[in-house]
């Protein structure tokens, strides 16, 4: 009887662990959807229409405001989902799955918007707003650069998720949240700098790799998450 109970407990524990994988992945999807698609839409529209009727806000300031908005929304909801929906988390696979879900939704959202942008009749204002929003999500939308940046975003979102998770373990939640927001902003600004200098795919790949390596090394040094159960 004792062995039977032990087997049942182990089985149920294994099932719960397997169910936790898709649960955390779906939370990553939802975090991006709520922060950037639902809430972000109205903030983007507000910034866009303010810029239309403002003599102070030029293209550079407009894109800067978009970058700041995206970075704050993304990392704040990553933080909130971890705080309220993924409690008692010490395994490193959890932020990795969350980051994968977050990245998958970014890319899916991009392709959906490109499809609507190419297929629907839009007014000039709507077209400009949607184009700017697409650009803010993923500047390189075709060819090798698009694939390269897709990989970059996936790895970056995993690193940022690991960073946020560690903030809860070392009781520096707000500090690590601010650091994650700043890293997000820096990486997005770097993308636009690369576009401005018209750097080829090889140079872009090297710079992306350097950013990921530097951020990754720093995160590994402070990492307190467990690699094995």
Give pLDDT, residue 108.
Answer: 83
Place 194 in a pLDDT band, splitting at 50, 70 and 90: confident
- Residue 98 CA, chain-centre distance (Å), reads 9
Least confident stretch, 10-19, 22-31, 199-208: 10-19
**Number of Cβ within a 10 Å radius of residue 163:** 22
Give pLDDT, residue 168.
Answer: 94
- What crossing angle do the helices spanning 59-85 and 173-197 adopt, rounded to 10°? 150
Place 187 in a pLDDT band, splitting at 50, 70 and 90: confident
Which percentage of the chain shows pLDDT scores above 70? 75
Place 33 in a pLDDT band, splitting at 50, 70 and 90: very high
- What crossing angle do the helices spanning 40-52 and 124-137 adopt, rounded to 10°? 120
């Amino acid at each position: 009887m004792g062995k039977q109970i032990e087997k049942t407990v182990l089985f149920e524990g294994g099932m719960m662990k397997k169910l936790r994988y898709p649960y955390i992945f779906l939370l990553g999807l939802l975090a991006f959807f709520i922060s950037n698609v639902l809430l972000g839409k109205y903030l983007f529209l507000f910034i866009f229409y303010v810029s239309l009727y403002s003599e102070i806000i030029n293209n550079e300031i407009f894109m800067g405001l978009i970058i700041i908005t995206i970075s704050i929304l993304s990392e704040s909801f990553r933080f909130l989902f971890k705080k309220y929906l993924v409690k008692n988390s010490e395994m490193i696979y959890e932020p990795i799955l969350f980051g994968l879900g977050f990245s998958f939704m970014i890319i899916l959202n991009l392709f959906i918007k490109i499809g609507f942008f190419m297929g629907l009749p839009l007014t000039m204002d709507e077209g400009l707003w949607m184009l700017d929003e697409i650009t803010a999500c993923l500047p390189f939308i075709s060819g090798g650069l698009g694939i390269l940046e897709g990989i970059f975003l996936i790895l970056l979102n995993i690193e940022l998720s690991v960073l946020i998770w560690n903030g809860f373990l070392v009781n520096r939640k707000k500090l690590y949240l601010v650091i994650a927001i700043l890293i997000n902003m820096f990486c997005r600004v770097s993308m636009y700098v690369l576009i401005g200098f018209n750097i080829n795919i090889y140079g872009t790949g090297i710079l992306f790799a350097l950013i990921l390596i530097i951020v990754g090394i720093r995160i590994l040094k402070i990492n307190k998450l467990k690699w094995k159960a």
